[in-house]
Amino acid sequence: MNKVQSEHLNNQLKDSSPEEVLNFFIKNYKNSIAFSTSFSAEDQVITHMISVIDKTVRIFTLDTGRHFQETYDILDITRNKYDLNIEVYFPDFNKVENMVNEKGVNLFYESIENRLLCCSIRKTEPLKRALHGVDVWVSGMRREQSPSRRNIQVVEWDDPNALIKVNPLVNRTYEQVWAYIRENHVPYHKLHDNGYPSIGCQPCTRAVKPGEDIRAGRWWWEMDGHRECGIHVPSPPSIR
């Protein structure tokens, strides 16, 4: 698998429906495909689609140790509703202990560098373990979610992990995602009902105000612009 192949596949599938995209990759890369879920509305839609196509597709999630209780609740609800095995990956406890003992339990409020360190230890490193041996990584990203995601493709090459990344919902709107959830009775994270359109770790997520961007509640104390953890969109050099 390489960048040229990903570009070819994107040209082939860029106008396909999410179900068609998932069907193609599940059929052709069955033994080397994995879907990462954070139980967002988008990820719940993809989980539902996968459950219809093939319940044996590998699904995993990252437990940072700082999640809302509602995130654990939707994990169990989803497992039970779809009869799926959702693997849970945790950060290296030694690295978490060293980080907290050196910089404090809430280090992420003090600087962007500290926040990115926390994201790296709690999310990026466990992700790399989860993706070991994987050729195709499925995610729930959409272009509409933020300026930093505006140019993502249905199929693209993920250089940090050296694999093909598939974003079946890339062209879908927020309204389309929620219409699918309602029409198909898809279980969703209950904090969505309380003004949380985007949900991450509890200390780094707040509800958004009317008229705010859907990701305004993520790392809200930082300056507007690049609000990413580094998993999906690499941090710009100036804040690495």
Active-site positions read 229
Nearest of 48, 6, 92 to residue 187 by alpha carbon: 48
Q: At what angle do helices 41-53 and 174-184 cross, to 10 degrees?
A: 50
| Pairing relationship of beta strands 33-36 and 136-138 according to DSSP bridges | parallel
CA–CA gap between residue 194 and residue 217 (Å, rounded): 12
As given in the structure block, the two tokens for residue 67 are: 């999640």
> How many CA atoms does the CB half-sphere of 38 hold within 13 Å?
20
Terminal alpha carbon distance of the chain: 28
Phi-psi region of 187 (alpha: psi -120 to 50; beta: other; left: phi over 0): beta
